[in-house]
Amino acid sequence: VGLTAHAPALARAGVTTAVARAATASNFVSLGLRPRDAQALVKAVARENRETGELLFFHDQKSIGFVKPDGETRRERNLLCHVSAFEGGVPLPPGTKVSYLRGVFNHQPVARAVRVVPAPAKSPTQPPPGPAWGLAAAAAPPGVGR
């Protein structure tokens, strides 16, 4: 089940893409979808619309933090995230790369289902090309190696 299979019914109900991203299964059931289809639709939308960003900070006492979306420079575009939004638990250090689903709470954008993005695996260090780690052949004593 994908968003395109239910797009006509959702469009008639006035559901935009942004609303579909923030909707829960019960929201879709209230529009007339079967519960099983609603759950599948929520998973399909979530799978297709994960965004990435950087955790700016997390305030332990207030249980909230902010995520800066990748490529965003304006502070007002940062997303609030509650402690309950973190799937792997907190605290995370500032600057941690995360992926999240964009949602809405009290008419404000929020980050939901926040996950840490695993760091790419480092390739093994290769020695530079050339003789003996970059030692020039001219550095050898006369008569050695030639």
- Top-confidence residue, 65 or 5: 65
Q: Which amino acid is at 89?
A: G
Q: Express each pLDDT in 51-78 by its tens digit.
A: 899 999 999 899 899 999 998 888 889 9
Please write the tens of the pLDDT for every residue from 109-143. Answer: 899 889 888 877 666 666 555 555 555 555 556 66
pTM over 0.85: no
CA dist., res. 81 & res. 65, Å (int): 5
Cα(106)–Cα(20) distance, integer angstroms = 16
